[in-house]
Amino acid sequence: MTITIVIGPPCSGKSTVVEKKKRVGDVVIDYDAIALAVGSSTPHDATGSIRKVALAARWGAINKVLSGIEDNAFILHTRPSLEQLQKYTVMGSKFLVVDPGKEVCLARARAEHRPEGIFQAIEAWYSSPPKIPSPLPQRPVVRL
């Protein structure tokens, strides 16, 4: 089993990269897909109870993967905390950073008519990107 943590700002292409890399039977934990599955009309702006349920489902799925499964898993995570990064590292996770550059992410957000909060999240990610612990099992950077 391989756990791959896919990190990048909003609109970087994390879901697209995983879609190309995953194989039949791989587990994919993607908040946007979960939000849609539990009733959101948009994957990028879930609110209220839908957001709470989607977040709980996401954390439940992440905890299940970290406790051990037979197949490979991809966990999409925009900004994992240091504690989360350390937990992923202890589990032997691989890290894949998807970073096409701030201007590309902002242009995609505009083109996709993303909610205003996404622009702030992109700016915040680039102002202070997550610090991935070393040594790393793997840390390729994908530029889309």
With a cut of 50, say whether residue 136 has pLDDT above it. Answer: no
Mean per-residue pLDDT for 86-104? 94
> Which of the listed CATH numbers 3.40.50.720, 3.40.50.300, 3.30.2020.30, 2.60.120.10 matches domain 3-142?
3.40.50.300
For residue 103, with 0-12 CB atoms within 10 Å meaning exposed, 13-18 middle and 19 or more buried, which class applies? exposed
For residue range 51-79, what is the model confidence (pLDDT) as tens digits? Answer: 999 999 999 999 999 999 889 999 999 99
Q: Are 144 and 98 in contact (CB under 8 A)?
A: yes
Structural domain boundaries in the chain: 3-142
With a cut of 90, say whether residue 97 has pLDDT above it. Answer: yes
Residues 6+ apart with CB under 8 A from 5: 75, 77, 80, 85, 88, 93, 94, 95, 96
Global pTM reads 0.88
Would you state the structure tokens that stand for residue 93, as one six-digit string? 């996770």
